[in-house]
Structure formats: C-alpha cells, structure tokens
Structure 1
C-alpha cells in the first residue's frame, strides 16, 4: 500500500472526530523471556493509520474548528541501535515518506504533549492501552486542569478505537488485495499439508510443512497460533499443543493461516489422515459442508449478522437431528440450547488487520449491523463429538469437523476469497492422494 491510502484513512478519522486531540501509540516490543523479545507486531490501529511498522512512535491528530494538524513522532537515527538491531526509519526518511504536517522526535514527546493539549476539551485515546505515551497525555491533561490561567482544558477523555474500527470494518480495494495475497499463500499451505499427511506423522510436522510455505512465500508469520488437531483433539476448540501422532483412520482438523503485510487470513480444513473418508466421517463432514455452503449463499448486503447466526444454528440443529445426535422439535431444541453441546461457537467473525477484527457488530442503538460491500467475515460451522460422549452414536464418537472460509461482501452478494482451497469430499481426497 502507498502513503495515499494511509493519508486518506487519517483524513477520514479527522472528519469523524469532534474537536480535540487524538493520540494513537505504536505497540511496544513484547518480552519473551529474560532479555529476548517476541518478533515485533505493530498495533493494528496505528498501522491502519500510518503504515509504520516500528515501535516507539506515536501519531497525533489535532482538530480545531475546520483546521486540522497531523504529527508523527518517531525515533531519530541512533547508530548504536542500528548496529545491534538495524536502523529505524528516522526523522528525515519519515518526512519524505509520510504525508503529515510535521515529523518530530519521539524523545521530545513527553515535553511537548502538554502544549499540544492546551486549549482543547477532548482527548481521544485507546482507553485500555497502557502505553506510556497515553499515560503521559493523561498526566498532562490533569496538570493543565489544575493550572491557573488555562481557560480551556481537557474535560473529556474518549475512546478513539471505536472511530478507527468503524472505519476498518469496510475494507478498501487495496486492503482486499492484501487479504487475497494472504489467502493465496494459505491455500498453497493447506494443499501441501493434505499432500504430505500420513499416519504416523506428528501434528507439528504438518504445522511445519505449512509454516515453510508461509515463510518461503514471503509471509512474515502465521496470522495466529496454528491448530493441527488429529482425531479427538479436534474436539478441543483451541487445541494448540500440536504434539500428538496422527493415526490411521482418523481425521485431522487444521485451522492455520498466514498474514501478509499485517492483514490476516483464517482458514480451517478437516480431512482424513489416510486420504479416504470413512462412511461416518463422510456423513458428518457433508452435513457441516452443506451448512457452510447454505450460510455463505445467504450473505449479501442488507442481511444482518444476527439473522445469519440464527440461520446457521437452525441448519446445524437440523444436521444433528438427521444424524440422530439430538431428537425432538428443532425450535424447542434451539430454545433449550441442546445443539450448543455439539456446535458451541458462533458462525464467524470479522477479519482484516486482526484475525478477529475488533470492529463493531452492532450500531449505536445496539442493533445488529447489516452487511455492506467491503466487509470481510469468516464462515466456520462445526460439529464436535467427543470420544467419551456416550450420548453420541458410537460410530460418530471422536469426530470433530470445522470448515472455514473468508467471505467478502460485494455489491451484488458475496465472494469466497478462499474458494480455491479443496473442500468437497472428492476434491479433498484428490488433494490428499496427490503425489
């Protein structure tokens, strides 16, 4: 993405802000152990507004009447830091790269923040971010309130993330293309896992095969901790140990994907370890697939997410009745939440810069949002039958199946961005048996 995209996002945020000062801080480095750190991952809101993937930086947006001003604070060049960890963008390069009114040294921020807040009544920050830059801003606001001669001071500290994440909800064309890139790499990785999978392998070996595809394709990392769950492990929804042996005659559920330029993909496929579904596995699999296909087909502008959730639960409950897992009237079963034992999670979530994009699901009145073109949502129905659950017919015990795709809402309906990944029984068996 180029700087024009980030400039436009900043302008959109300023248009939606009331008068005041907004401060968005870069993410700090996260300690892994002792003096080692996790690979750096930027604060998604900060990246969305300026595209800088470095720590120790802050973006300041100021609005006074019709006038606006944008300041970007970054680290100055430091030869010692460059020697050990590589050079950062620095002040001169930032002035060339970013369309902001001023680039300033982050070392000056603590002294300058009080003056930046002077004569403003609103401060917009992430209320739950513990960044020292935001703590310094709140401290400066308090000091100004107690200073004689200051006629106007911060009277309201407000959440900026809702404004930003409302903007993030509708993906622009450049964002959609970035997600497409992440999905395309993830597709290759899933197909490679299907091709390599054999009984006797360990779950982590399939994860390694996928991770190789991610890194070899230029993706910086997984979008989230991979789930590679053989057999009954699939019935632990957030299984991440990935250490067990893959056994003959069982399924493996893989929920794994990469991110590209910080934009996520999120894909789940479930397939037979030996490349051939058993009859009971196929029965359950095709029920889940039918639910997924029907839910995806219902996605179009104007449809509300809470309706989609209700529709998916009705379909999953019908599937459970057909399989003989539950018995009775569908509406009564749903009212009693009988289906939730076997289909416990929601039908999907927003996706973008975060794999679970924290964009709003409801409007200001608390009503479920209707789909609009540009929204991206995962659709991931699942049925889970634990091996020790004697309420389930024996032939289905130990089967856990989830199928997940990334769906773009379009002007005329929807597009399955991950539709190229094998999903039908025939296509999966062909992919598993490809040499």
Structure 2
C-alpha cells in the first residue's frame, strides 16, 4: 500500500507579494530605486546544471521561479513602481527546457506593474534608473554591482546635462531582511507544512533503522518522504551520522555502516515552496538506549525542553542560549565530564569542548534565515510574534583518553522548530518523538 500524502497548504497570493513590495517601498526615501536580482542557473559539470533554486529575496518579493530575472522597485513612478525583466520567450529553447513566462506571463501571473524580456534590458534600464539619486542593491553581488556601475556612469554623464546626480549606494538586504524576519500567516502555513513533511521523514527513518544499514540508506528514506509529500527535496545537505560521526557537526558523507550499539544523529529537513524544515533527532541504531547514552541524552533533552518553553515575545535568543549552556554544563559536571563549579566552567569556556555552537537560528525561506540577532552591539533582539527559530542544543564527546570510555564518541543533538506566538511558542515539529520512551516504542514496534 502506498503511503498517504498530506494535503497541501494554499500558495502565497499575488496580493501578498504586491503588499510586500509596497511595504518595502514605503521605507525607501524619495528618489530611491531598489534592484533585486533573481538567481541564475549553475553548471554542475559540462552541460549539466544543478537544479535551479530561486534567490530568496527575489522570490519573497515576486513569487517568480524562473532564472535570470531582475526586479526594480521605483517608488513614485507614474507608469509603474514594480518592473521585472525576465527570460525571453524562445520556442526552440522552450521545447528543450519548458515554458517560459515571458513579459506577458509575468504580468498576468505575478501582478507586477510592468515587465520586459531580457532582450530589452540594456536599452530600457538606463531610462528606468535616470534621475534616481539613491540606489539600493545587494552590495557585492556581481550582477547588481555591474548595473550599479553602469548607472553611475550614466548619472555622471547626465549630470553634465543638468540631470540629478547619483548620490549614494545602500545595501538593500537590511530592509528586505528586516521585513522577512516576521512571517505572515501564509508563510507560517508553509513552514508548518515543511515541518510536518520533515517530521514524517524522521519517523520513517526511525522505523527503517536497523544495525548493518548504511547511513545513506536512512538518507534515502528521508529524502524519499520529502519528495513523496510534494517537497522539492532536502532544504540543506542531509546529515546522517552514526557513532562518532555524529560529533562532526556538518558530517554529510553518510557512507558508514550503522553499528548495533551506537546512536545515530539525523539532521534533515524538507523544502516546500522554498520554505524549510530543520529537525535533528538522535536515537539508538538498535532501538534501545544504553545507560551512558541515556544519561547524556537526558541532559540534552532537559536543556532543550527548557529552552523551547522559554520561547515567548520579549525573550532573547541570547538569554535562551545562556540557559542552555548552564543546563549542559551542570549536566556535564554531574556526569563527571567536567569538574568544579558550574559558573566557573562557563566562564573559562570549558563546556565548549563538548558544545561548540549556538542554540538557535532564524528559519524561513533560508534554513539559516535572514535577520539580525542584535539591535546593536549590546542589545539582543527581543523575540516577537511571527518569528520562527530553531532550538537545538547538543553534546559532542570526543574519543579522547581522558574521557570515561562509556561516553567516548557519542554525539547528540535535539532540534525543534518553534514559531513565536502572542503568548509563547508553537512547536512546528512536535510530530517526531524526542522522549526516550516514545523513540524506543516507535523503533521496537515497527
């Protein structure tokens, strides 16, 4: 019998994309223009390309999935404030690679004010930029910088004819990313769906796991579920680390045999309509934790549950991380992996031998989503409704001689995705178990 499929959430509407552009333009000063390039195809080898993935800022403002596009936002322009350049219609190329929207399709399907095909870009772009004195673009991005340099040359030539001068360049990403940090109800629905798909994949991998499988075989179970449920695939490189491989934070080889007495750490998430899930679970290959594994797991789980409970408006990720560090350090001392006073081991960074990373990051269109974590150098950003974060403490015990043998080479991480609500946090990834008894029951009763 084929597995069931989840019902799909509604796509983000044209009206919402239009509202995003309008909100962004409302924050631009008089005389400004913003340039937002889309993504380009990238060669994998010879004439084979990587699957195309749209640039996130461009997608956030347009919903357009084709490569080689460009968005201009021109506040106050009478003949249209949003202009898109897109791929040319080409019957021969479309026979090989599929339909292209063309200018008429962009106008009909994506609600921008004007659209032109790329064949017209060179001739039309100078006129669109003429008279604009402040240029917002992703600084350092090659295509955008080339446009900016041409705009500067045109402005200098125009200045001699009495035209307004180009006064300054600004990085567009600060404004766009501040807006992306707060997710709309439609975005939250897509994130919930990406997380549900991810949770199903993790449950599937737990049920499939058995000693003697290769790590890549669990990867196959995960990624099959992602695509079966309508996702584009993994939102990032899938991590399946058995035994000591789990102590390598970005282990992606996934090539080792899963040993009977080991744990396996899986960090994997589905991408759905470009929105990402990001879940980590750690469980015993044979379905039962041994005493040392359980002791370490309980330390991480306790820290993770307290951190999840702390998610609320006004809380900060810095404070939540500090609480996790305290919980993990206390647990390491109780297990004999550290000694002395908890605060002393925090102050001298001894805990960092076993816990190397932060507890949380933003989640959205990008796995490590955009938005600053501080309002300034001294002030952490308070959480607010609509933000989505990960909560992912871990412990990674090296195989060193001074470590008790029972703990050597154990890597553990537990990660959930949490949306900040008006009153607290909504765990989007609760469908995949993390309690010891629930994990063992799922794995034993396959």
Instruction: Describe the superposition over 1:321-365 as per-residue Cα deviations: whole angstroms up to 9, x where unpaired.
Output: 111111111111111100011001000100000000021111256
Q: For the Cα contact (< 8 Å) 2:64–2:110, is it kept in 1?
A: no
Cα shift at 1:66 = 10
1:241 aligns with 2:257: no
2:152 to 129, 135, 141: 141
Task: Write the mapping of 1:295-310 to structure 2, written as runs, cut at 5 A.
Answer: 295-310=307-322
1:293 Cα deviation after fit: 0.2
Is contact 2:137–2:173 with CA below 8 Å preserved after alignment?
A: yes
The 3-state SS of whatever aligns with 1:315 is: helix
TM-score (norm 2): 0.94
SS of alignment partner, residue 74 of structure 2: strand
1:391 aligns with 2:423: no
Equivalence for 1:56? 68
User: 1:120 aligns to what?
Assistant: 132
1:350 maps to what in 2? 362
Aligned to 2:93: 81
2:416 maps to 1:433:
no
CA RMSD between the two structures: 1.5
Q: Residue 18 of structure 2 is aligned with which of 7, 32, 51?
A: 7
Determine helix, strand or coil for the equivalent of 1:419.
Answer: coil
Q: CA deviation at 1:366?
A: 5.4
Shift of 1:312: 1.4
Tell me the secondary structure at the aligned position of residue 418 of structure 1: coil
CA contact (8 A) 1:170 1:374 kept: yes
Note closer, same or farther for the CA distance 1:253–1:297 as it changes in structure 2 (3 Å cut): same
- Residue 237 of structure 1 aligns to a residue whose secondary structure is coil
CA offsets per residue over residues 380-427 of structure 1, 9 Å max, x none?
A: 00001022x123221111111000000111000111110111100001
Identify which range, 183-192 or 101-110, moves more after superposition.
101-110
Q: Is the 8 A contact 1:77 1:89 kept in 2?
A: yes
Q: 1:17 & 1:54 partners in 2: Cα distance?
A: 27
**Which of residues 199, 207, 221 in structure 2 aligns to 1:187?**
199
Match of 1:31 in 2: 43
Do the aligned residues in 2 keep the contact of 1:114 with 1:144 (CA within 8 Å)?
no
Given that residues 29 and 40 in structure 1 are in contact (C-alpha distance below 8 angstroms), is that contact kept between their aligned partners in structure 2?
yes
Deviation at 1:216, TM superposition (A): 1.2
User: Could you give the per-residue CA deviations for residues 39-89 of structure 1, whole angstroms, max 9, x where no partner exists?
Assistant: 000000000000001111111001249997111111232101111101111
Give the unaligned 5+ runs of structure 2. 1-11
Write the distance in 2 (CA, Å) between the matches of 1:400 and 1:173.
36
Instruction: Indicate if the aligned counterparts of 1:235 and 1:386 stay in contact, CA closer than 8 A.
Output: yes
* Paired residues for 1:228-377 under 5 Å: 228-364=240-376, 367-377=379-389
SS of 1:254's equivalent?
Answer: strand
The residue matched to 1:198 in structure 2 has which SS?
A: coil
The residue number in structure 2 matching 1:381 is: 393
What CA distance in whole angstroms lies between the structure 1 residues aligned with 2:276 and 2:237? 12
| Distance of 2:358 and 2:274 partners within structure 1 | 24
Q: Is the 8 A contact 1:118 1:153 kept in 2?
A: no
1:69 is aligned to 2:81? yes
Give the aligned partner of residue 113 of structure 2: 101
Which segment is superposed worse, 346-355 or 314-323? Answer: 314-323
> How much has 1:99 moved relative to structure 2?
2.0
- How far apart, CA to CA, are the structure 2 residues paired with 1:126 and 1:416? 33
| C-alpha distance in structure 2 between counterparts of 1:434 and 1:52, whole Å | 45
Mean CA deviation greater in 346-355 or 299-308: 299-308
* TM-score normalised per structure 1: 0.97
Q: 1:227 and 1:365, CA in 2 relative to 1: closer, same or farther beyond 3 A? A: closer
SS at match of 2:437: helix
The alignment covers a number of residue pairs equal to 433
TM superposition shift of 1:98: 2.1
1:412 aligns with 2:386: no
**What's the counterpart of residue 211 of structure 1?**
223
The answer to whether the 8 A contact 1:14-1:68 is kept is no
d(CA) in 2 for partners of 1:209 and 1:420?
A: 17
1:155 to 161, 164, 167: 167
